Structure 1
Amino acid sequence: MNSLFAILGSAFVFLAALVHLMIFFMESVLFHTPRVQQIFGVRAQDAEIIKPWAYNQGFYNVFLALGAGTGLVLMGTVSMWPAGIALALFAALSMLLAAVVLITSQPKQMARPAIIQGAPPLLGIIFLVLALNVG
């Protein structure tokens, strides 16, 4: 295993988890604020209707972040390393695929959020796969 690639991959998976925690807080905790509603392009009159959806969506994001974080913790233990990398890769791939779904829903409007959501897990996956395959 290549340690440098493993460290880089872990750092990007960690960053991806932080991004998804931030999204969780915005969707599930701070959605009632005008600033967050503006970020998501929600009109004030629609916010109450959308709030339950956003709350639920936020928890999907926190679960992905927890999966990535748990994978990283397990990667730090010798006996659980294989399970950890599998979990970290699964969570990162789920995050990346969610970004793909986001950008395909409205390419012009969602390109920036999809890049913010998808670039860290993509880089994490690339480096973790390289760590496994480059001596």
Structure 2
Amino acid sequence: MTMIGLIFAGLAALLHVYIFYMESVAWTSERVRATFGTTETEAAATRELAFNQGFYNLFLAIVTGVGIVEYLSGHTSVGAALVFAGAGSMLAAALVLFLSSRGKRGAAVKQGALPLLGVVILMIGLLG
């Protein structure tokens, strides 16, 4: 069961690397603007904020990835703690988005589903 939780956490980390790319690298591109529902002017005005936010997503992905590697290397306590910190933060951010922006609830569910599954399944695996 823990392996399934780690797989979902890893998928969440990969998703957050992609979000990093969109926010920090491709923010003003037509495709990313369409994804986030921003105009060219809005994207230009928020570029610095998005750049910074993208790195938060990258760092959460890195913490989760390091946790998975540590867990699989036999450092199960440290690894699990890092996975819970990284994926749990992803989940918390999705919850904040869900509660604070009615129009972005679909995005929040997409952003939060994988870390939720990772955290819950990993917890069940560790307790079982």
Indicate whether the TM-score tops 0.5.
yes
Q: Which amino acid aligns with 2:38?
A: V
The 2-side partners of 1:86 and 1:47 are apart by 36
Give a deviation string over 1:38-85, Cα, whole Å, max 9, x none: 21111112221100000000000000000000000000112x221001
The 2-side partners of 1:35 and 1:129 are apart by 37
Which residue is equivalent to 1:61?
Answer: 57
Contact 2:33 2:39 (8 Å CA) reproduced:
yes
Which residue is equivalent to 2:8?
Answer: 12
Which residue is equivalent to 1:91?
Answer: 86
Of the three residues 36, 46, 49, the one matched with 2:42 is: 46
The 1-side partners of 2:92 and 2:50 are apart by 19
| Stretches of 4+ aligned residues off by more than 3 angstroms | none
Which residue is equivalent to 1:127?
Answer: 121
When Rg is computed on C-alpha atoms for both structures, the one with the higher figure is 1
The 2-side partners of 1:47 and 1:129 are apart by 39
Q: Does 1:82 align with 2:74?
A: no
Identical columns (%): 41
Of the three residues 97, 100, 111, the one matched with 1:102 is: 97
Give a deviation string over 1:97-122, Cα, whole Å, max 9, x none: 00001111212x11111111101011
Query: How many pairs were matched up?
Result: 128
Superposed counterparts of 1:13-32, under 5 Å: 13-32=9-28
Q: Which amino acid aligns with 1:33?
A: S
**Structure 1: 5+ residue stretches without partners:** none
Which residue is equivalent to 1:34?
Answer: 30
**Structure 2: 5+ residue stretches without partners:** none
